[in-house]
Structure 1
């Protein structure tokens, strides 16, 4: 805590009676994470400089006890006050004795305090606040309090040139006006709204915002991250990405089957949080897939916007079509024989199989017993694309692992020491921060995907077609172990006509006479046909 007091006469001349002076005090708190809390008060009665210094100390100590603070380091540029509080100087002046006694009483309520004398330039911020309050011209018996609330000091724009934009969901009011406009106008032109309430709201809130060169508004979070502010109409667009799409796939058959006769794993992965659901099955039927979607996706996470799956027979049935129609879910089928089209599901399949191999090293037929344990390990592991665990993005906090209970971790020890009310407040804070956590994960995911796409595209020779082009398609099924009729067997079949062009290099084909429809096929399995 830095403190300072200032006393000056209204006309600049020395006053015989200090009561005729104008006095003010300034207090600056610096938290362990370098956050700044500043207060400035104009005193209702005049006083001497030393009395103003004591007023500043007392006001600061009272504020510190309200926060509350147990340990406090105190810095002031008044050598007299500091050494009197240390006990090095005796308080001889009668008018200062009540101040000293009050300051001692407040200091005794802290567990530990340290008091230091510093030069005026080190105490410049508190000195400026005290001078500001003392210089205000006020009617007699009129009290004014200038409080710069708990906030972070705005940094110069040159220090935030490496902003990392993050979409922030924030709304101010229910009208159609863009909530960002008042802050942008104030930061850019210094103009405030006409409404008194909005003037206060904008003036106080603007300290948390930064306006970048291109007119984009960013908000500085408590951890120092600069978050991009978005318009109200984009809120649903951004938040809808949570559990908006799932990728489904079938793992197996496992040969030999497990001890209980299970041969397959039906798995689904959320494209945003990377949360995964999986069940062991003895046989794959469309009715089982339909039940899995309802039980493990819809009933747990709500109705998804879309589900991506391959062209396997269990994923093409009337039962599934009825389910998707009922809940208005988009059923997207990936391109045939092109694993990247449903890359998330394929990646999870590999990860899950690796986990199961490590868990069933001795008895490989017991993999079905370790499936849920493998899912637990996956859900609580840090995922590189989102820089978070799937568990934290779904529930708002990290899971307590079994090992943390057996050998209590710091988190468990802290949780056990909390009261019921404190635990509720901690959980509420986690839930309030969940949206921001998810938006931060979404930003990391987009950056990761762009980075991977850039690396992949460097090695890919782009091949594109347009509607009504004639193409040949690789003869399928594409199975390495498949016996061929010999080296003279054609590797391409067709020609086919491109009926529709999809996003990311997938094409819908029909035969030349239009009587047969070919499922969507990726461009890597096509080549141009020249009659």
Structure 2
């Protein structure tokens, strides 16, 4: 390939990777034209070289003898020194920084930071050390000023690079440990591996925080440090299990996807890696971890374990009482000694109260001190031999001196470590006690069987537990179940299950999903308990927001119950139609009455629809013509609920049956008649719309003389026992009109009246069959809803006449059912105890779950 081509390097690397694809990563490493053959022993090395040379001869590759070196125990590769000890920084690069003079310009500072960046893998907290240089570069427009802070940082870097650490090479698949340190301006991490109980650094990562990042909470800074490290060291994170050692609850923050904002984004980004979060269980391990990350530049000096004495000073960052402070010191000492692996301990304290409470000489009554005592007893249980002694205050001068030092700034040269206690230790105790209460949960038998091999005494139950436990395992002290969408599902108890349901359903990332979606979402997040689906249904059913904004079901709540009349003119349905365009005489409305047996219609145009006008219509159009009816069905309009109409009906013994609010099906025949009249008027009118009263009688006459589907007879025939003579029979005579005879007609009329009862019975039978077919088709769509007095219900807001906006709830309430009004209608009572005036149909109600 000719020199100078832009893709020459990439093509050459592709060729090398293709030729040595079997050797790369095993016995050979290559980066473009830098290649190295690696072997564990000399004999293996000869065989490996022979294999590589054979591949080179096969493809015709040649080597430059002057640039080739063989059988080296250490050598330079890609700017680093590789040896059996590990990876070392190139001495020339370190010496180049050490020999540098203090920069005298911005350009020289930039050159210095560039050299340090090339060695950043070996420098712990390099970003924090170089922070003064970065600040100086940012101020280049204000002039160059190399101050004492820059000179001090420059000196620390030179001192550090004089003895740089040796980076260890990890073994494929072994776990690596990540330690984190953060402050207000930078984040630093150290990736280490453990070999024979000794932790060796693999890579140091450091980064200066930007302006917005400096305001992250501490837990987010720690999470951000993991993300930055994972991005920079992606090959390490992909090839090794990562164990993050931290005091922060990062497992909860990044181990679930029901968080919001940056943490959710980072959790998704880190989910592809095998990351486990380990807690720093003792202050000594915390100090060790901080020392690994911060290097030797911290404010304390570790003491050799072979020394006679370790000095620790405690600084409590909350406001404890004197006795609480004594207990905190007692607990801290136990934790530090336990971290060393000691099995015997002698404790000398000048607190008479604490010593005697631990020895059970004094009774502990204070609730806070009881919790501290439980914590102490748990820690003491880790030792084989414990001796607790009380000593006078005067014999404890060393501890007094340390307590005074903890309240002040310590001299960096003093061999004293100050340990800070951010919060009471008993908070951790309460959390641990809560998490380990397995005996009260559903998974108790499985947990006992998997951890201790204990089975219930009942043989059938024991056999069931054995078979069921095959689906479970213990992962990091958590009971997990095998899943299909998720490798392992963490088993949770009742309290945590309720918390997960509420947070997922109505928390920051919740959107009030339906039960099935809610259950799936929780399972996909990696949680399990047997009643998940049932609990999700119960939570959604009882969620107030879900109930008030629930979809309106258009399925009928109960079976169809048609209204039947035993004989003509027994039951009438009345309704108001309009308003129409104002006609002559200010007519705007039509009052309609339909008889339920014969389907006969009476209608009249009105200018006003007052209660008195409706009463006059009932009196003159119905009572005076067809007699007093047994019952009238109306809606809840004021004209029907007014005093004149109700008093008139009461005086004649007429029952008024009011339809449920916003439920026209209760007076269905009247509604159908209204539709028929309206359609007839629209088709009749030509020209101006205010002539509709002129055609009202024609439309009503056409309806009354037309056979109905339910009876197969016209209303006229069922009322008068004969079919009406319509105008067409006069224009085009039929046999009935041609052979008309007064005497014969009178005789035939008497015969028809004799059999009119039979005619009506036939019509009644046909109507019953028609209603049966209609009821059978209707009942297929029924979704039953059962209510009884005392139930709490919601009603449709639109049915109550409320304006419903886009964001308004479609249901209002709750209300209590007082009594049934018959045929799935109910009277309601509001929260103040006031009974609503009208009844409400079950189709406008839904049960409310508090």
- TM-score normalised to the size of structure 1? 0.52
User: Secondary structure at 1:472's aligned position in 2?
Assistant: strand
* Among 698, 709, 722, the residue aligned to 1:397: 722
User: Secondary structure at 2:787's aligned position in 1?
Assistant: coil
Q: Report whether the alignment pairs 1:351 with 2:670.
A: no
Give the 3 Å change call, closer, same or farther, for CA 250–355 of structure 1 in structure 2: same
* Among 478, 483, 491, the residue aligned to 2:810: 491
Deviations 1:320-350 (A, max 9, x none): 1211111100000001111111100000000
1:496–1:510 CA contact under 8 A, matched in 2: yes
2:661–2:799 CA contact under 8 A, matched in 1: no
Question: Mind listing any 5+ residue stretches in structure 2 that lack a counterpart?
Answer: 1-563
1:510–1:518 CA contact under 8 A, matched in 2: no
Distance 1:247 1:464 in 2: 28
Deviations 1:363-405 (A, max 9, x none): 3221101111111101000100111000000011000001101
Superposition map of 1:333-344 within 5 A: 333-344=658-669
The equivalent residue for 2:784 is 462
Q: Report whether the alignment pairs 1:247 with 2:566.
A: no
CA offset at residue 241 of structure 1?
2.5
CA offset at residue 274 of structure 1?
0.3
1:381–1:390 CA contact under 8 A, matched in 2: yes
Q: Report whether the alignment pairs 1:514 with 2:840.
A: no
Deviations 1:115-154 (A, max 9, x none): xxxxxxxxxxxxxxxxxxxxxxxxxxxxxxxxxxxxxxxx
The equivalent residue for 1:530 is 849
User: Secondary structure at 1:517's aligned position in 2?
Assistant: coil
Superposition map of 1:314-393 within 5 A: 314-393=639-718
2:825–2:842 CA contact under 8 A, matched in 1: yes
Distance 2:565 2:760 in 1: 9
User: Secondary structure at 1:261's aligned position in 2?
Assistant: coil
Q: Report whether the alignment pairs 1:500 with 2:819.
A: yes
Deviations 1:178-236 (A, max 9, x none): xxxxxxxxxxxxxxxxxxxxxxxxxxxxxxxxxxxxxxxxxxxxxxxxxxxxxxxxxxx
Superposition map of 1:443-458 within 5 A: 443-458=765-780
Distance 2:631 2:672 in 1: 19
2:594–2:669 CA contact under 8 A, matched in 1: yes
CA offset at residue 240 of structure 1?
4.7
In proportion to residue count, which structure has more helix? 2
CA offset at residue 518 of structure 1?
4.1
CA offset at residue 515 of structure 1?
2.3
The equivalent residue for 2:548 is none
Give the 3 Å change call, closer, same or farther, for CA 326–431 of structure 1 in structure 2: same
2:572–2:631 CA contact under 8 A, matched in 1: yes
Higher relative contact order (CA 8 A, sep 6+): 1
Distance 2:681 2:720 in 1: 25
2:827–2:835 CA contact under 8 A, matched in 1: no
The equivalent residue for 2:598 is 273
User: Secondary structure at 2:679's aligned position in 1?
Assistant: helix
- TM-score normalised to the size of structure 2? 0.33
Give the 3 Å change call, closer, same or farther, for CA 478–496 of structure 1 in structure 2: closer
Give the 3 Å change call, closer, same or farther, for CA 483–528 of structure 1 in structure 2: closer
User: Secondary structure at 1:527's aligned position in 2?
Assistant: strand
* Among 757, 761, 764, the residue aligned to 1:439: 761
Give the 3 Å change call, closer, same or farther, for CA 392–258 of structure 1 in structure 2: same
* Among 289, 302, 305, the residue aligned to 2:614: 289
2:573–2:596 CA contact under 8 A, matched in 1: yes
CA offset at residue 434 of structure 1?
0.7
Superposition map of 1:13-52 within 5 A: none
The equivalent residue for 2:194 is none
State the number of aligned residues. Answer: 287
Distance 1:333 1:499 in 2: 17
Distance 2:782 2:745 in 1: 53
Distance 1:257 1:458 in 2: 44
Q: Report whether the alignment pairs 1:421 with 2:765.
A: no
CA offset at residue 483 of structure 1?
5.2
User: Secondary structure at 1:519's aligned position in 2?
Assistant: coil
Question: Segments of 4+ in structure 1 off by > 3 A?
Answer: 476-479
Give the 3 Å change call, closer, same or farther, for CA 478–511 of structure 1 in structure 2: closer
CA offset at residue 513 of structure 1?
4.1
Superposition map of 1:168-317 within 5 A: 240-254=566-580, 256-317=581-642
Give the 3 Å change call, closer, same or farther, for CA 446–315 of structure 1 in structure 2: same
Deviations 1:251-280 (A, max 9, x none): 0111x3224421100000000100000000
User: Secondary structure at 2:818's aligned position in 1?
Assistant: strand
Distance 1:499 1:478 in 2: 18
User: Secondary structure at 1:299's aligned position in 2?
Assistant: helix
The equivalent residue for 2:416 is none
Distance 1:344 1:374 in 2: 17
2:565–2:571 CA contact under 8 A, matched in 1: no
2:793–2:815 CA contact under 8 A, matched in 1: yes
The equivalent residue for 2:489 is none
1:393–1:438 CA contact under 8 A, matched in 2: yes
CA offset at residue 491 of structure 1?
1.7
User: Secondary structure at 1:498's aligned position in 2?
Assistant: strand
User: Secondary structure at 1:500's aligned position in 2?
Assistant: strand
Distance 1:457 1:496 in 2: 28
CA offset at residue 477 of structure 1?
4.4
1:498–1:508 CA contact under 8 A, matched in 2: yes
